[in-house]
Chain A
Amino acid sequence: MGSGSGAVCSIQLNSVLTAEEQARYQDTSVIRRLLRESRTVAIVGLSADRQKASYFVGSYLKSEGYRIVPVNPRGGEILGERVYPDLSSVPFDIDIVDVFRPSHEALDFAKQAVAVRARCLWLQLRIVDHAAAELALSAGLSVVVDRCIKMEHGRFGGGLHAAGMNTEIVSARRPRMMKA
């Protein structure tokens, strides 16, 4: 069960950001639009280890219909997709650059995301770098910081609720049925 249109929600839990930073980098309407309108997600630092968080996120996004693009200098294939060494090697458009690398590497990937004209720079949970975020914002990208893209998709798609988690969504509106 999805949350429907116009769901009102204040996501305040589980972030190391201040309230002002949350408003800037975790805007609910921005996140919902990104998840709805994006098709291609480059996952920087996607691991081939089936028990790693990045692998869980990659396999989830793929099963939810996104095209995932592993970015990892090790190359090879992950989740049946060709691995690219960096963003500039990817020969097609990328909507979201989802970063699973330590905070101090975020700035480099922000520059790459701007260079390949990605639509969004997304730094996963506890990956926080203001310089990276501001660089991407000033180049016109949407920016999400200290959020997990799988959790956010689950929040608005109903899956997180099914797991008993607090989505912080409140809505009395009846969602539209999805097309068969």
Chain B
Amino acid sequence: MASEESRKFGFETRMLHAGHIPDPVVGARAVPIYQTTSYVFGDAEYAAQLFELKQYGHMYTRISNPTTSVLEERVASLENGTGAVAVASGMAAQFATFMTLLSPGDEIVASSHLYGGTVTQLAHALQKLSVAVKFVDPSDVSNFEQAISKKTRALFGETIGNPRGTILDLGPLSALADAHRIPLIVDNTFATPYLCRPIDFGATLVVHSATKFLGGHGTSVGGIVVDSGKFDFGRFPTIADPSPSYHGLRFYDTFGHYGFLMKLRAETVRDTGACISPMNSFLLLQGVETLSVRMTRHVANARAVADFLLDHPSVSGVHYAGLPGHPHYERARKYLPNGPGAVFTFDLAPRGVDPRLAGRKFIDALQLISHLANVGDARSLVIHPASTTHQQLSDEELRQCGVGPETIRLSVGLETLEDLIWDLDRALFAASN
């Protein structure tokens, strides 16, 4: 009965086409970069309608931009979401999500296995807004359940958690969120929609640092919020109630399944100003167009590197959920059948050497793998948390974060596999001698 015009296109087709139809004026095939701050209104009545959100269209690039719209619709399509809003960074994407959903006095229950910057944002920046966060070990969904109170307004976690590859148990966790009528927010940065689509397992909202694998080339910082459109915000005060900062507009009543994103864009991003530049949207789109090809190769290289490290006498442990010995190996097979990403940690086995010193010697001996604070570049990246991002912490505090003084984090890139193994082998030798 489906008509000839109806077809659900495949993931790779949507990586290249979703959200962009060639423009009728010049027919440009690539996505044009609309490097403009503002847009001429057709007439006064149309302008008034735009400002009242009664018309669709662009007003000012802090709110929306045609190049950015392509990135938004494309990522929404790949995540099987109803829409998206792109912002300045992954941190801005999370923050806009929390600002839109929460009021002072509300609480979040969050996984404790998160990117360090996210922990700081949750524990300190949100505290200034009188939002309390309870951190729980995400390995067991019952830990989330026990932390939920009457004030809890959202659950939050990463598909593939920092730093030990904890895999969020999305099915039971989304059922828990549903039972409490609160949204489940999932950071899907490490997985990308190619490896896992949390919305398919019941997540309400998905956030990304698009800087990482979505962009994939280490050129541009950006973030994005995707809404499943499936959550009933009818009794969720911040989305359902008349909004004092948009002359009494009830976003959920008026815009239905677009209500949350409309509010996030028209109020939160308007007010906080963390907009993405059109140039960065364009550059991130270049990455999205090859996402499946790159992720397949990232995962293959990561698995091979993990296998190499596992067998190496100078390595005492490898924490990659793609290895059968990892506690979440089966969970990873369920939620990430194409592989649990390409970022993981391993522990050096220094013999008679201070582990922090061994870590430094390892880093300094690398020739090919870049030492920097990022993940998800086409190039392989490495960092030694104990001497950089976590250097103020004692060994005991490090352990609480799930890392040790001997822990190394790798983001495996697309280089020739044998060259990566050559580089790691040399550095492991240097670190243990």
Seen from chain A, the residues whose Cβ lies within 8 Å of a Cβ on chain B are 1-4, 6-14, 20, 23-24, 27-30, 32, 51-53, 56, 59-60, 63, 125-126, 148, 151, 154, 157-178
Q: Closest residue of chain A to B71, judged by CB?
A: A164
Contact of A166 among B23, B77, B242 (CB under 8 A): B77
Chain B residues near A2 (CB, 8 Å)?
A: 24
B361 near A: Cβ within 8 Å?
no
Contact of B81 among A151, A166, A175 (CB under 8 A): A166
Seen from chain B, the residues whose Cβ lies within 8 Å of a Cβ on chain A are 1-9, 13-14, 17-19, 21-25, 27, 45-46, 49, 53-58, 64, 66, 68-69, 72-73, 76-77, 80-86, 229-230, 242, 247-250, 253-258, 261-262, 265
Chain A residues near B24 (CB, 8 Å)?
A: 1-2, 4, 174-178
How near does chain B come to A103, taking the closest CB pair, in angstroms? 16
Chain A residues near B27 (CB, 8 Å)?
A: 174
Q: Closest residue of chain A to B84, judged by CB?
A: A164
How near does chain A come to B253, taking the closest CB pair, in angstroms? 6
* Known contacts A14-B229, A28-B3, A173 near B254 by CB under 8 Å: no
Q: Closest residue of chain B to A54, judged by CB?
A: B254
- B7 near A8 with CB under 8 A, answer yes
Contact of A161 among B25, B73, B86 (CB under 8 A): B73
- A170 near B250 with CB under 8 A, answer no
Q: 26 pairs across A/B with beta carbons < 8 Å?
A: A1-B66, A4-B21, A4-B24, A8-B7, A14-B82, A14-B229, A14-B230, A23-B6, A29-B5, A56-B53, A59-B54, A60-B54, A162-B58, A163-B64, A163-B261, A163-B262, A164-B83, A165-B76, A165-B83, A165-B261, A166-B84, A170-B9, A170-B13, A171-B17, A173-B21, A175-B22
Question: Which 7 residue pairs across A and B have the least CB separation, nearest first?
Answer: A159-B56, A164-B72, A165-B83, A23-B1, A166-B76, A10-B8, A175-B24
A169 to B7, alpha carbons, bound, how many Å?
9
A77 to B104, alpha carbons, bound, how many Å?
42
Chain A residues near B57 (CB, 8 Å)?
A: 159, 162
* Known contacts A10-B7, A164-B83, A177-B25, A23 near B2 by CB under 8 Å: yes
- A161 near B17 with CB under 8 A, answer no
How near does chain B come to A172, taking the closest CB pair, in angstroms? 6
17 additional contacts (CB under 8 A) given A53-B254, A163-B69, A166-B82: A10-B6, A14-B229, A24-B1, A159-B56, A163-B265, A164-B72, A164-B73, A165-B76, A165-B83, A165-B261, A166-B77, A166-B81, A166-B83, A169-B21, A170-B13, A172-B17, A175-B22
Chain B residues near A172 (CB, 8 Å)?
A: 17, 21-22
How near does chain B come to A160, taking the closest CB pair, in angstroms? 6
